Structure 1
């Protein structure tokens, strides 16, 4: 059923490569996802691969290369020929976070890659248990100030998205909370449901189903404005002005890929990401489809680096 839905969506799109003129692939493309199969990144990569392949008239294969905090997949793309046929689905670890948290990374975070397009942004939810007495962001900050270092929050590990989001929240609110890292989001959320953890600040895709069931209570969203996935929730910024955080993923090509190739790839992806059916599928997964120019992507990456450098340095977060 999933394959039929993706194919139907793809066939509804106008020809992509035929509209470009400058460059088109002459064989199948690979999108390397530096994470394990089954996660949101893997799902979204496969979602865009189908219509992209139809538009180009070539198959687009999604290949999972997890390991090394996303460095295994990144190296595979960095070492690929710069001919547009191998692309990287880039979570923030590759260029934004690993260079800030690791003593050294086994690639040049910028010279080894060429920006193609911003793919998606996903809000996080600030949540507590459904029976928690904490009912708002202001309640949470007050509770943390009353009990410094006693409130606990879970994440998928040191340096994970949830860890960094909560560290940013704590720093801006002037509070201290205890970080409890897990090997993945699911075990941490299970302990949150069981009452062994007080809260988390993680992706809407992972938490929203439990909020809808009433097992978790969402206090706010992490984005500056209300999120499409949960429009009823206020932004954290309503209580903590200036707070903003959203998971940000994008597409990279190997470094030294010619501009006519990255330009054609950008236009092809942008056409896919503007399709209403694709945008609806992204929204159902708790993500916002982005798109835009290569220059806009480069600026977004620099903005994210500036946002996280201060947090990571102040909190002394390292992966070594």
Structure 2
């Protein structure tokens, strides 16, 4: 009788135990595949700080720059699949690198579990204040007068700004000369100085320069107008179907248990919904995303389908 009673109590307790939410049992880490101080690193640190507060364990941010994000990606792909290690990812990891690089030291799909999309940021197409073109049709008209007569700057070969301008050229059927630099800052200086005609980069970087009158914005890259600059037209108004937005998201190692992913996803959704976080994003022109792991996986597939043809047609490879 005592044995049967014990078994009965154990069987009743099991469902309750199975429903107990996962919680980290030791300090966590977030790998950022960039050097400290950049946009991804800054937002990643904010998310890490909030995760630590809500999950009750400290979370360190580990910068692993290099290899076009492959060094940081490998570190997470090889980490234990227990929820204690996350990758603060950009499209390079799963969307761009498979098309830009002949070989990867990781499988962009099989080695990771999607957690949540964090944010999306439109780009601005900017020129110097006295540039001849006043809008996208005018820019395309200039480019059509002579092949490679129009130049555009970027933060480097295969950077997001390079790809955004390459897609514009392909959709408009014009040839433009790419002038890569080592980072966004020198590219901006060359456009402001009139030595390069235009560039495309994140709104958080370029909008303050537009507001100060040092650059002039012709359009935003997203399909819909940007909340931070609703007066600006979209590139898609001239080239239907054009859409580009940088986005950041979180990945865990593959085979991380679903119940662990569920807790991480719910916690980050809570962080993104905080009024202070929303206000911070809005001030930078950034759109908060959130949502389910399944929605993130679908977004990654969609973006990969978008950029693969652009990279192949442009013959673009990572340096």
Deviation, structure 1 residue 21: 4.3
* Residue equivalent to 1:105: 104
Long gaps (5+) in structure 2: 1-18
Partner residue, 2:168:
169
CA offsets 1:26-65 (integer angstroms, 9 cap, x no match): 1221111101111110111112222221111112222211
**How many residues are aligned here?**
301
The alpha carbon displacement at 1:248 in A equals 1.4
Structure 1 residue 283 corresponds to structure 2 residue 274:
no
Which structure's CA Rg is the greater one? Answer: 2
Q: Distance in 2 between matches of 1:174 and 1:68?
A: 32
Q: Quick one: distance in 2 between partners of 1:255 and 1:284?
A: 35
> 1:220 matched to which residue of 2?
219
1:115 matched residue in structure 2:
114
Which deviations, in whole Å up to 9, do the C-alpha atoms of 1:188-237 show, x marking residues without a partner? Answer: 11111111100001111111111111010001100111111211211111
Structure 2 distance, partners of 1:161, 1:140, is: 20
Residues 1:195 and 2:209 are matched in the alignment: no
The CA RMSD measured in Å over matched residues stands at 1.2
Q: What's the counterpart of residue 79 of structure 1?
A: 78
Tell me, in whole angstroms, the C-alpha distance in 2 between the residues paired with 1:40 and 1:311: 25
Once residues 72 and 58 of structure 1 are traced to their aligned partners in structure 2, the CA distance between those partners, rounded to angstroms, is 25
In 2, the alpha carbon distance for the partners of 1:230 and 1:73 equals 34
TM-score, L = length of structure 2: 0.92
- Name 2:242's counterpart in structure 1: 243
Distance (whole Å) between structure 1 residues aligned to residue 21 and residue 98 of structure 2: 34
Structure 1 stretches of 5 or more lacking a match? Answer: 1-19
- Corresponding position of 1:181: 180
Residue of structure 1 equivalent to 2:55: 56
SS of residue in 2 equivalent to 1:87: strand
Question: Is 2:316 the partner of 1:317?
Answer: yes
Residues 44 and 282 of structure 1 are in contact (CA less than 8 Å); yes or no, is this contact kept in structure 2? Answer: no
Instruction: Please give the secondary structure, in 2, of the residue aligned with 1:69.
Output: helix
User: How far apart are the structure 1 equivalents of 2:68 and 2:136?
Assistant: 31
